[in-house]
Amino acid sequence: MYLKHLNILNYKNISQAELPFCDGINCFVGPNGAGKTNLLDAVYYLSFCKSYFNSVDSQNICHSEDFFVIQGGFDRSDSDEQIYVALKRNQKKQFKRNKKEYSRLSEHIGLLPLVMISPSDERLIVEGSDQRRKYIDSVVSQYDKSYLEKIIRYNRALLQRNTLLKKSDRLNSGLNAQLDVWDEQMVLLGEKIFDERTAFIEQLVPVFRDFYEHICGGHEAVDIVYISHFQKGDVLEMLRENRERDVILGYTTKGAHKDDLQFLLSGKAVKREGSQGQKKSFLIALKLAQYEFLSRFNGFGPILLLDDVFDKLDQERGNRLIQLVSQDRFRQIFITDTQKKRLGEIVEKTGKENRFFEVVDGAVKIQE
């Protein structure tokens, strides 16, 4: 699959752009703050119906304007897909596939698989477990629509349980009876979520290790370990045993909403022990494994967006990364960089079709 052209009006600092892309490596080069990442984000928007960086939709409209429009023409398994999104201030966003508006945006998720690698992914390492759960959930729901439904239902049950806990000052038989209902719901759905997360991580980790080894040159042992209360025994029992404590705290301390991933480098937490370059390599390997996973599932390669990937990687790692993504299993790639010369030399080595776009103050010019 590949994006043939992209038209933008008023998306962040890009006031107007009409960009024809090649079915190879497309490069956005220019100084800091020029709008290179915003261009990647516009591509991301067409796949996920939202920005990768800013979940407040209205903040993605160019400050001086009242609306934005992004349009993209894709070649997907040899059929044409025209995707259109428009947002006016204080109005509902319009999202259309081949001129037909979606009734639910979730119907679109997964149609145009895409993987973004960005410096902001560091939050997966440094921030709380909710970031890592969100990450798993966003990947799994791209290939399994029923998974998203289970997450929504689980979160609803959790919210009801927490509301009960907050309202109550002590455990009594009335409260116990009400909690029974939500505990059962949470365990029923939580077990299914746990099984799907386990299956996903089991398939992802060996591919992730291979990619990391390739990027780092083979000397560092990395691992990703899935941690869940469901591995530690009967969660229904745990929920019951912890009710007194949950009432005091006002929230639910056991269940799938506490799942986490441990990121390890030579058996130690990457967050504490990893250098900046090692953290970056770790995240790149993770995202490439995700790419491979989605690629196997769909039978074609997703679009790959590489934002500022060469920053903080030594030259060796940068070269090995580009060698990797120039293999045939990767198809269309978008790369941003501040250094046109550096990127030119790197891309040249791949022997792949490429196109350069110069970005200055939100204006984009194709390089002949």
Which chain residues interact with ligand ATP by CB under 6 A? 12-13, 30, 32-38, 59-63, 308, 336, 338
For the CB of residue 325, give the shortest distance to ligand ATP in the complex, in Å.
19
For the CB of residue 312, give the shortest distance to ligand ATP in the complex, in Å.
13
Tell whether residue 113 is among the known ligand binding residues: no
Tell whether residue 299 is among the known ligand binding residues: no
CB-CB contact of 357 with 365 (8 Å): yes
Q: Which two tokens stand for residue 4?
A: 């043939």
d(CA 168, CA 178): 12
CA distances from 355 to 41, 174, 332, 347, 359 (A): 18, 67, 11, 10, 13
For the CB of residue 87, give the shortest distance to ligand ATP in the complex, in Å.
11
CA distances from 152 to 141, 147, 228, 319 (A): 11, 9, 19, 42
Tell whether residue 302 is among the known ligand binding residues: no
Tell whether residue 35 is among the known ligand binding residues: yes
d(CA 87, CA 67): 5
- Please identify, using beta-carbon distances, which residue of 15 and 106 lies nearer to ligand ATP: 15
State residue 259 phi and psi, 5-degree precision: -55, 155
d(CA 42, CA 52): 9
For 327, other C-beta atoms within 10 Å of its C-beta total 9
SS3 state at 208 = helix
For the CB of residue 41, give the shortest distance to ligand ATP in the complex, in Å.
7
- Please identify, using beta-carbon distances, which residue of 168 and 338 lies nearer to ligand ATP: 338
SS3 state at 102 = coil
Q: Which two tokens stand for residue 325?
A: 């993504």
Contacts of 167 (CB under 8 A, 6+ apart): none
- Please identify, using beta-carbon distances, which residue of 25 and 40 lies nearer to ligand ATP: 40
- Please identify, using beta-carbon distances, which residue of 234 and 361 lies nearer to ligand ATP: 361
- Please identify, using beta-carbon distances, which residue of 41 and 81 lies nearer to ligand ATP: 41
For the CB of residue 267, give the shortest distance to ligand ATP in the complex, in Å.
34
Tell whether residue 255 is among the known ligand binding residues: no
With residue 345 as reference, give the H or E element that holds it: helix 340-350
Tell whether residue 37 is among the known ligand binding residues: yes
For the CB of residue 181, give the shortest distance to ligand ATP in the complex, in Å.
45
- Please identify, using beta-carbon distances, which residue of 142 and 336 lies nearer to ligand ATP: 336
Annotated binding site for ATP: 30-37
Binding residues: 30-37
